[in-house]
């Protein structure tokens, strides 16, 4: 089967790397991909939100499956677009319809869904410009820190946590005043949950599911989890505290009620669900849903899956998840993200990258890179993810960091303490 992967980051490179190992694999395409993915398949000059061009490419190249990496095309209705076209209807699309993508596209929808289905989550209320005074009142009922969230997609920047009540009131007013555009027309205020975060993932056909290896993401730019939030600076899988007893609670209290809730509400679902969890003294709470895999979690999770991923994706797309099992390796995966100096603030692009010829110890996934006259250059904040697998976490980290040290570009920065807390 020919497969097209939508997206251009490290997650999509890792998905392509794993899928291309499948026995059923035909030709592999990326829309638009990056210089790393061009080593695995064909990069098409098609943007991830140009559904018409993606549809035409699928027909032209006889693609049987489209795997959607990022959330924006899913929330924008790429799956609905395929179903609405007679020529594209039978193409397998990995990723939910717009209705299911609301779990990520609207935090208000996600929280009310969790409440309707008894899924443990932080106490919250939502407010609009008309109800801002009630919002101030709700803030008075909470203890600091205060968590404020724009309802819509805001590229990971829509969550603001402040310690001071006056600042929280000001933030609420600014958010409702258009700081995040339409994404902030509705703002959620949440009780702050204290605990360690982790990411759990399933692949589902809407009725049955497989639980993928969990991961821990390191979101802050600075060592010891300090500084600004980023897209993710590294990941570790497995997560030691996510033992069988904890994961059983996650499955019973969060995963199963989610699948049951989707079915009850008549929301079909094909693809990945990413549960952003927090461990509060041994009990899992759900912070958020994402309707896709995480980045950089994918770069740590997929190398630990021994099963044929294309076979599992095909089962998800054709309602045969029940027949499948997943085989995962007992190894530990460590992923370190190499970023441009200054990220997540301002940074320069176009720096020449050297030393990226793999030395064979680790895996290298491109994120923000581009090729110019045969020369590899930086093209984004997160430039490359280096993953290493080993029997123990210290060994995986040692391999990963020795690989990360081989790659050079001006201003290269990475956290040297990934996994420090585990
Ligand atoms: P998000 O952009 O939704 O992934 O949220 C960003 C981060 O904010 C999460 O990864 C958490 O670290 C933090 N966060 C969100 N909601 C809460 C909450 N209710 N309590 C504590 N931390 C939170
Ligand atoms: N690493 C977090 C995310 O993909 O949203």
Check if 297 has its Cβ closer than 6 Å to any atom of ligand 2.
Answer: yes
Q: Which atom of ligand 2 is nearest to the CA of 219?
A: 1
Check if 279 has its Cβ closer than 6 Å to any atom of ligand 2.
Answer: no
Ligand lying closest to the C-alpha of residue 297: 2
Statement: residue 152 has pLDDT above 90:
no
Mean residue pLDDT of the chain comes to: 94
Residues with CB under 6 A from ligand 1: 122, 147, 156, 159, 190, 192-193, 197, 219, 276, 287-288
Close Cβ partners of 356 (under 8 Å, ≥ 6 residues apart): 364, 376, 384, 407
* 175 confidence band (pLDDT: 50, 70, 90): confident
Ligand 2 center from residue 129 Cα (angstroms): 29
In degrees to the nearest 10, what's the CA dihedral of 275, 278, 281, 282?
A: 20
353 HSE (CA, 13 A, CB side): 31
* 217 confidence band (pLDDT: 50, 70, 90): very high
Ligand 2 center from residue 32 Cα (angstroms): 20
Close Cβ partners of 409 (under 8 Å, ≥ 6 residues apart): 338, 340, 351, 352, 353, 354, 377, 378, 383
Statement: residue 360 has pLDDT above 80:
no
Of 221, 247, 244, which is closest to residue 234 (Cα–Cα)? Answer: 221
Of 54, 70, 156, which is closest to residue 107 (Cα–Cα)? Answer: 156
Cβ neighbours of 91 (radius 10 Å): 20
Ligand 1 center from residue 68 Cα (angstroms): 24
Give the integer Cα–Cα distance in Å for 99 and 189: 24
* Mutate-to-test residue for ligand 2 from 218, 277, 290, 339, highest number of ligand atoms within 8 A of CB: 290
Ligand lying closest to the C-alpha of residue 276: 1
The DSSP string of 114-173 is HHHTT-----EEEE-GGGHHHHHHHHHTSPSSEEEEESS--TT--EEEES-HHHHHHHHH
* 185 confidence band (pLDDT: 50, 70, 90): confident
Q: Which atom of ligand 1 is nearest to the CA of 192?
A: 20
Strand partners, 279: 196, 284
Statement: residue 182 has pLDDT above 80:
no
**Peptide bond connecting 344 to the previous residue in cis, omega within 30 degrees of 0:** yes
* 24-83 per-position pLDDT tens digit: 999 999 999 999 999 999 999 999 999 999 999 999 999 999 999 999 999 999 999 999
Ligand 2 center from residue 232 Cα (angstroms): 6
Instruction: Tell the residue number behind the tokens 């692009």, with chain if given.
Output: 349
What separation in angstroms does the CA of 338 have from each of 217, 224, 353, 410?
Answer: 14, 17, 11, 11
Decide: residue 127, CB within 10 A, 0-12 exposed, 13-18 middle, 19+ buried: buried
* 29-44 per-position pLDDT tens digit: 999 999 999 999 999 9
Domains of the chain are 3-97 (3.40.50.20), 123-190 (3.30.1490.20)
* Mutate-to-test residue for ligand 1 from 287, 288, 344, 421, highest number of ligand atoms within 8 A of CB: 287
Ligand lying closest to the C-alpha of residue 195: 1
Q: Which atom of ligand 1 is nearest to the CA of 219?
A: 10
* 156 confidence band (pLDDT: 50, 70, 90): low
Decide: residue 296, CB within 10 A, 0-12 exposed, 13-18 middle, 19+ buried: buried
The predicted model scores a pTM of 0.95
Give the integer Cα–Cα distance in Å for 92 and 316: 9
Q: What pLDDT is stored for residue 422 in this prediction?
A: 83
Task: Report the chain's C-alpha Rg in angstroms.
Answer: 21
Check if 295 has its Cβ closer than 6 Å to any atom of ligand 2.
Answer: yes
Ligand lying closest to the C-alpha of residue 9: 2
* 197-210 per-position pLDDT tens digit: 999 999 999 999 99
Ligand lying closest to the C-alpha of residue 183: 1
Q: What DSSP state is assigned to residue 188?
A: E
* Mutate-to-test residue for ligand 2 from 273, 275, 295, highest number of ligand atoms within 8 A of CB: 295
């Amino acid at each position: 089967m020919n497969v097209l992967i939508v997206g251009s980051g490290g997650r999509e490179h890792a998905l392509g790397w794993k899928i291309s190992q499948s026995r059923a694999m035909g030709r592999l395409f990326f829309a638009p991909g990056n210089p790393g993915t061009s080593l695995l398949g064909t990069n098409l000059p098609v943007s991830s939100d140009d559904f018409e061009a993606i549809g035409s490419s699928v027909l032209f190249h006889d693609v049987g499956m489209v795997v959607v990496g990022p959330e924006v095309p899913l929330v924008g209705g790429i799956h609905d677009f395929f179903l609405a076209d007679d020529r594209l209807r039978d193409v397998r699309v990995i990723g939910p319809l717009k209705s299911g993508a609301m779990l990520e596209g609207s935090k208000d929808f996600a929280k009310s869904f969790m409440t309707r289905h008894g899924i443990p989550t932080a106490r919250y209320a939502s407010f609009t410009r008309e109800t801002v005074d009630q919002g101030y009142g709700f803030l008075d009922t909470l203890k600091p820190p205060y968590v404020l969230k724009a309802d819509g997609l805001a590229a990971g920047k829509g969550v603001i946590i402040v310690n001071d009540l006056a600042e929280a009131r000001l933030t609420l007013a600014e958010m409702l005043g258009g700081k995040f555009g339409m994404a902030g027309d509705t703002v959620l205020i949440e009780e702050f949950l204290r605990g360690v975060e982790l990411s759990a993932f399933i692949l589902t056909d809407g009725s049955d599911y497989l639980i993928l290896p969990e991961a821990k993401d390191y979101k802050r730019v600075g060592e010891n989890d300090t500084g600004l939030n980023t897209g993710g600076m590294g990941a570790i899988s497995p997560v030691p505290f996510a033992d069988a007893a904890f994961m059983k609670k996650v499955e019973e209290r969060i995963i199963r009620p989610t699948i049951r809730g989707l079915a009850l509400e008549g929301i079909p679902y094909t693809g990945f669900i990413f549960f952003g969890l927090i461990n509060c003294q041994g009990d899992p709470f759900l912070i958020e849903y994402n309707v896709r895999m995480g980045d950089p979690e994918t770069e740590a999770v997929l190398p630990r899956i021994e099963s044929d991923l294309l076979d599992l994706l095909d089962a998800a797309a054709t309602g045969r998840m029940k027949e499948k099992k997943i085989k995962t390796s007992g190894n530990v995966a460590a992923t370190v993200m190499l970023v441009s100096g200054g990220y997540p603030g301002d940074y320069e692009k176009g720096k020449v990258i050297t030393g990226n010829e793999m030395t064979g110890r680790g895996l290298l996934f491109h994120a923000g890179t581009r090729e110019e006259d045969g020369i590899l250059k930086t093209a984004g904040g997160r430039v490359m993810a280096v993953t290493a697998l080993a029997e123990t976490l210290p060994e995986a980290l040692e391999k990963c960091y020795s690989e990360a040290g081989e790659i050079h570009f001006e201003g290269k920065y990475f956290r040297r303490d990934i996994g420090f807390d585990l």
